[in-house]
Amino acid sequence: MLLPLLAAALLSCSDQHSRSDFAAYDFGMPEPPAAGSITPLPPPPPADPAKVRLGKALYNDTRLSADDSISCATCHDLGRGGDDGRRYSIGVGGAATAVNAPTVLNSSLNLAQFWDGRALTLEAQVAETVQNPTEMGGDWSVIERRLRDDESMVEQFARVYGTRPGRDEIIDATATYLRALVTPDSPFDRYLRGDAAAIGDGARRGYETFVDLGCISCHQGRNVGGNLFQRFGVMGDYFEDRGSLVAADYGRFNVTGREQDRFRFKVPSLRNVAATAPYFHDGSAATLDEAVRAMIRYQLGRPADDEQVERLGDFLRSLSGELDESLL
Amino acid sequence: MKTLIGAVTSVRAQILVGAALLACLVLLLVMSNHTGQREFRELKQALDELETQNIRMDGSIFLLAFEMHTDFDVLTAQQKDLRETALALASILPDGERAILAPAERKLLMVEDFKSEQSILRNSRAIAHEMIERLWTGPGVDSPATRDALFAVERAFLDFLARRDPKAANRLRAVLENPAVGSAVTDLEEWDVLRAHSLNLIDYIDRLTRLMQSPPFIELPVAIFEQNARLTARLAETSAAASRYRSALFVVALLLLAFSAVMVARVRGYLQAIARANNDLESRVARRTQELADVNAALRREIAERESVESQLRIAQKLESIGQLAAGVAHEINTPTQYVSDNVSFLSAVWKDLTPVLEDYERIALRGEADPARSRRIWSEADVPFLSKEVPAALRQSSAGLQQITRIVLAMKNFSHPGSDALQPADLNRAIESTATVARNEWKYVAELTLDLDPDLPLVPCNVSAFNQVVLNLLINAAQAVEEARPKGELGHIRVATRTRAECVEISVEDDGPGIADAIRDRIFDPFFTTKEVGKGTGQGLAISHRVIHGQHGGTLSVEPAPQGRGARFVIRLPQGRLEERGACPALTAADAM
């Protein structure tokens, strides 16, 4: 009775032994779920259009900086993916920022703001950025005075808030604008909603690779990231290899002071990532290709071939969405 | 003063002053009665909300840990909500920063850690597994030494994943660090990756386990519970203060009335008599009102105390039943895991035993080197007849074991389905099956469970997770009752049946335990009533079940005479159809039920 079975087993593995011994593990085992999932971006929250317009004006207003030289848009240019394409940004008086500027697009969907998550809300983020000496170095009383001298500003604030321009209203309007900066309808989102032709073959296989290699267990959810903190250098010492450690490299440790948070950063959203080179908190990866290879080496510690890297690039490029024109 | 009194000499003015005074008094009374309470209700609502949010968050962690949820968005949103509620509480609760916000922040940090650890763990497990796959298809597996090494590694790896205990971890570490194993493996890159990820996995599983057992996990519910208790005590205090305040108001009122009476007496003789009569009446009314207020305050104090104890017990019960279930499920999963694991070890040994037979066959069939004597020896050494009997059996048993595990996990998923409080059409038969599976450990040693489910049962509006709790409760009660009554070594009987009736569906849970004495039949749905020994139950189960079925579902939960005249029979009746238009669904009388 056993002989035919044995013969079959033998024929199938006479030149290459397979693991028929462990086949028992396949019996009745449920398929393991994919390690994560990506969902389409939700539409931006409803907001008063006049307030969004005011926020947009403030976002582009250099009067928010100490010497009236730069605005939010200087470092977060919506025409180039919501950042400035530099490794470190240049603030008032030529000071360089300690970390790479992340994009503002979809940032309202992140669990917290900044690489180390030190601001829990966009309001806290705006309040800090305007005053930060290496960014805008602004002084609220000076900013309020400047805006109150401007008739059209006074009129807009009166219409939206019924008050004169003030710190809290400036912050509120800017944060409202930031919340509107959502980029729905990327090719990949259309694909997720059932339009099979929205992405090409490369991107589709790139997505499979993204799941198979394990990228998805950190970069997942609606923002393809942005919902957890994770160590940079899980499977290899990134900082040792890069050298010259600075305070900003300690990441979330600088906020919580807990040892386990050393070198942990907010996992960045990969939406629109194709447009936001250079990459990482230190801007060390100049191209998407380099960034992907670093991820494979330091976060996954596993082999991967050039073709896989290329396909991952195709997939990541399909994550770029559209911003409503009225917001630009 | 003189001029004032002089100014109010007209009757109209006096009446106006009197009316205004009375209006003021009433207003003050109402306010002193209500302000404290409203604030109390607000705080209590926020605390309850925080408690619910915390439980939901734990539910998500559970689902993620068991990999039934696959992204962190839901959990992240729940963290945000919980932080907001905690912040709001901190601003309205005296000492809220320390008592609520701090434990909430610690818990949120813990949840962040959980997400980081959990995502790395998944990857290391998947990558290590993938490397094992690759090694099995690599060029070196032709050599028996390599195959042996891979057997040893994979067995230790799977065994560790199944057991997740320090012993299995040590065995895996020993295999990975065994130089003989290392040198037998030829694909060095895969081997290094496999080793790194397996060691990583041991670390992370250990860390994750410790994280899930760390104090911040339960510190928050305990803090919420303490605040609830304090709040209740404070309410009692404020209502005492309010009643003192009211007494003062009455004294003032009496003085004012007296004053106006004196004044009136001085101005008009005939008004004097009326004023006195009036004064008398007012003071009687005031005394009476004062008495009423005192009784009221006492009642409120009593209610507050009762609520505090009740909420303590509710939490205690929730923790108790979650703990029990978790232990039960772990046990249920462990047993099949153990024998699947043993079978796999057995099967690997079998493969080793069979290898000579196959090699012999290869020599005969493919190379034509027949040698009957050799074949006979090999055949009998391998004891093929024995193996051909045992191997299918082992496979069958493993397959059954794995199906069992799958079933339990699915049942757990159904059971813990994080629902809203809304009633939605639900398949009660399925809910009952899941609950019976989840609670298997509670009944299987004491009773045989029969499910007699009406296949045509319609969907009824129901909050499944609350309903599951009720059925679970009844099942556990039945199991405990049967345990008391059954003779040693014999199993009792529990029967759960569903039936479709005219206006409603009926779910009955019967046991053949000692039954319920007539003397206590009326009291078993009272909160705090219990017949169990101290420590065995809080006595809240039936009361809460009663509230869930009557309050939330508009159904009935009743005890009815058992059909065989022995044991207890609990019957739940839930109305069919929409909430607004459903008919009454009264408990049957004893006569109808026969």
Query: CATH code at A98?
Result: 1.10.760.10
> According to CATH, what is the number of the domain B419-593?
3.30.565.10
Q: Examine the domain organization and report whether A175 and A80 are in the same domain.
A: yes
**Domain span including residue A116:** 49-180
- In sign, the C-alpha dihedral spanning A253, A258, A261, A266 is negative
Residue A16 inside a domain? The answer is no
Partners of B570 in the beta sheet? B509, B559
Task: Say yes or no for a CB contact (<8 Å) between B361 and A6.
Answer: yes
Residue A20 inside a domain? The answer is no
Q: Examine the domain organization and report whether A77 and A169 are in the same domain.
A: yes
**For chain A, what is the domain count?**
2
Q: Examine the domain organization and report whether A80 and A176 are in the same domain.
A: yes
Q: Examine the domain organization and report whether A138 and A203 are in the same domain.
A: no
Put simply, the chain B residues between 405 and 444 with a CB less than 8 A from any chain A CB are 406, 409
B361 vs A10, A32, A34: nearest CB? A10
What count of CB pairs under 8 Å joins A to B? 141
Q: H helices of B416-539, where? A: 428-438, 440-443, 464-485, 518-521
A221 phi, psi to nearest 5 deg: 85, -170
- Classify residue A280 as exposed, middle or buried by CB count within 10 Å of its CB (0-12, 13-18, 19+): buried
Q: Which residues contact A311 (CB under 8 A, 6 or more apart)?
A: A202, A203, A205, A206, A209
Residue A5 inside a domain? The answer is no
Residue-wise pLDDT tens digits, B129-186: 889 888 888 877 888 888 888 888 988 888 888 778 889 899 999 999 998 888 888 7
Which amino acid, one-letter code, is at B345?
Answer: S
Residue numbers in A near B87 (CB within 8 A): none
| Prediction pTM value | 0.66
Partners of A101 in the beta sheet? none
Task: Say yes or no for a CB contact (<8 Å) between B120 and A217.
Answer: yes
Residue A37 inside a domain? The answer is no
Cα–Cα distance, A165 to A156 (Å, whole number) = 9
Which amino acid, one-letter code, is at B82?
Answer: L
The residue among B429, B541, B425 whose CA lies nearest residue B474 is B541
Task: Say yes or no for a CB contact (<8 Å) between B351 and A260.
Answer: no
The residue among B233, B256, B183 whose CA lies nearest residue B43 is B233
Q: Examine the domain organization and report whether A175 and A236 are in the same domain.
A: no
Nearest CA in chain A to B191: A302
Nearest CA in chain B to A33: B67
Task: Say yes or no for a CB contact (<8 Å) between A227 and B112.
Answer: no
Q: Are strands B568-575 and B504-511 parallel, antiparallel or unpaired?
A: antiparallel
Q: Are strands B504-511 and B492-500 parallel, antiparallel or unpaired?
A: antiparallel
Catalytic residue among A31, A123, A128, A135: A135
User: B532, B314 in Cβ contact below 8 A?
Assistant: no
Task: Say yes or no for a CB contact (<8 Å) between B120 and A228.
Answer: no
Put simply, the chain B residues between 150 and 209 with a CB less than 8 A from any chain A CB are 151, 154, 158, 189-190, 193, 196-197, 200
Residue-wise pLDDT tens digits, B401-438: 888 788 777 766 666 554 456 788 888 998 899 888 87
- CATH 3.30.565.10 residue spans of chain B: 419-593
Q: Examine the domain organization and report whether A147 and A264 are in the same domain.
A: no
Domain boundary among A180, A195, A221: A180
Task: Say yes or no for a CB contact (<8 Å) between A234 and B126.
Answer: no
- pLDDT string in tens for chain B (594-residue length): 444 444 555 666 666 766 666 666 666 666 566 556 677 778 888 888 998 888 888 888 888 887 777 789 999 999 999 999 999 999 888 888 888 999 999 999 999 999 999 999 889 988 998 898 888 888 778 888 888 888 889 888 888 887 788 898 999 999 999 988 888 887 788 999 999 999 999 998 888 888 888 888 878 888 888 888 887 777 777 777 676 666 666 665 676 666 666 665 665 665 565 556 667 777 777 777 787 778 778 777 777 776 666 656 655 555 555 555 666 667 777 777 877 888 888 888 888 888 888 888 888 888 888 888 888 888 888 888 888 888 888 888 888 888 878 877 776 666 655 445 678 888 899 889 988 887 887 888 888 999 999 999 988 888 887 888 889 888 888 888 888 777 777 888 899 999 998 888 999 999 988 888 776 776 677 655 555 544 344 445 777 788 888 878 888 888 887 777 788 899 999 988 754 444 445 444 333 333
Q: Examine the domain organization and report whether A195 and A147 are in the same domain.
A: no
The SS3 assignment for B532 reads coil
Q: Examine the domain organization and report whether A118 and A161 are in the same domain.
A: yes
Put simply, the chain B residues between 272 and 301 with a CB less than 8 A from any chain A CB are none
Cα–Cα distance, B193 to B199 (Å, whole number) = 10
Q: Examine the domain organization and report whether A150 and A199 are in the same domain.
A: no
A260 CA: distance to closest CA in chain B (Å): 8
Q: Examine the domain organization and report whether A142 and A199 are in the same domain.
A: no
Q: Examine the domain organization and report whether A92 and A54 are in the same domain.
A: yes
Residue A110 inside a domain? The answer is yes
Q: Is A135 a catalytic residue?
A: yes
Q: Examine the domain organization and report whether A145 and A203 are in the same domain.
A: no
Residue in B71, B155, B191, B193 to test binding to A, most A beta-carbons within 10 Å = B71
Say what the ipTM of the complex is.
0.88
Residue A9 inside a domain? The answer is no
Task: Say yes or no for a CB contact (<8 Å) between B71 and A39.
Answer: yes
